[in-house]
Amino acid sequence: MSRVERLHIAPSLLSADFGHLTQAAQEAAEGGADWLHFDVMDGRFVPNITMGPAAVRALRPASQAFFDVHLMIVEPERYVETFVQAGADGVTVQVEACLHLQRTLTQIRRLGAKAGVALNPATPPEMVEYVLDDLDLILVMTVNPGFGGQEFLPGMLAKIAKVRDMVARVAHPIHIEVDGGIAAETAGAVTRAGANVLVAGTAVFQHPQGVAAGIRALQRAAHGEE
């Protein structure tokens, strides 16, 4: 485990019913998720187009959760301020989309939000080694970004462990988040490798027994209970 020991489940709205996002956010909170994950896609960094700051703004009054905004967009620095003003508590940028990563992370923190960096599956953890002082979260993508419902890439477990060893050397707490293919079958392995924030879309919003059951199953698996 990283020194941020507490487990957070971050349901991804991407797999929720877009006609009832407020209800989805409320069900996630009632089910015990204290984070909510927004997957922002621009049709350029990834092929898909999803939601923008208006969705964050619309849900803000309906939720006390930590709004975890994952920008899968090119030139994310152009939109960071808008997302924080809309209600983002944390903004995560893809390292592959940032020409001046340290500057963008500083920009996010100056706006009062937590700064995160996401790494695509092929991106080595060393990409963030020299900006650890400037970030609050490292997101290890466990699928290639763009779509929900993809299969977990087991090769990412070694990367999570490497990130855990890197963050253990810095003085401030850094969350290790995983995103993609996280379900009861994979939650235990990622937590053992060092992750403490589990993003899950399908496993929460498409769970046959409902949102709360999906969150509970993830929590139990993450704690090694099944």
The yes or no reply on residue 173 touching ligand DX5 (CB under 6 A) is no
Q: Residue 74 and residue 98: Cα distance in Å, rounded?
A: 8
Spatial distance between the Cα atoms of 207 and 171, rounded to a whole number of angstroms: 38
Contacts (Cβ under 8 Å, ≥6 apart) of 46: 72, 145, 146
Burial class for 81, CB neighbours closer than 10 Å (0-12, 13-18, 19+): middle
In the sheet with 35-41, reading across from the earlier edge strand, the strands are 8-11, 197-200, 175-179, 137-141, 114-119, 90-94, 66-72, 35-41
Return the residue of 4, 127, 150, 162 that touches ligand DX5, per CB under 6 A.
150
Interaction between residue 194 and ligand DX5 (CB under 6 A) = no
Please choose, from the candidates 39, 36, 40, 38, the residue with its C-alpha nearest in 3D space to the C-alpha of residue 10: 36
User: Which residues belong to the active site?
Assistant: 39, 179
41 to 70: interface string for ligand DX5, x by CB under 6 A: -----------------------------x
Residues 70-99 close enough to bind ligand DX5 by CB under 6 A: 70
Q: Pick from 39, 68, 136, 177 the residue near ligand DX5 by CB under 6 A.
A: 39
Which two tokens mark 156? 């990412």
Contact between 24 and 55 under an 8 Å Cβ cutoff? The reply is: no
The least CB distance from residue 179 to Zn ion, in Å, is 4
- Tell me: does residue 182 bind ligand DX5 (CB under 6 A): yes
Q: Does 201 bind ligand DX5 (CB under 6 A)?
A: yes
Q: Which of Zn ion, ligand DX5, none has residue 200 at its interface (CB below 5 to 8 Å by kind)? A: ligand DX5
Task: For ligand DX5, give the closer residue by CB, 117 or 143.
Answer: 143
Measured from the CB atom, the residue of 14 and 93 that comes closer to ligand DX5 is: 14
Q: Which does residue 180 touch among ligand DX5, Zn ion, none (CB within 5 to 8 A, set by kind)?
A: ligand DX5
Biggest CA–CA distance in the chain, Å, is 44
Rounded Cα gap, residues 8 and 32, in angstroms: 9
Which residues sit at the interface with ligand DX5, rule CB under 6 A?
A: 12, 14-15, 37, 39, 70, 143, 145-150, 179-182, 199-203
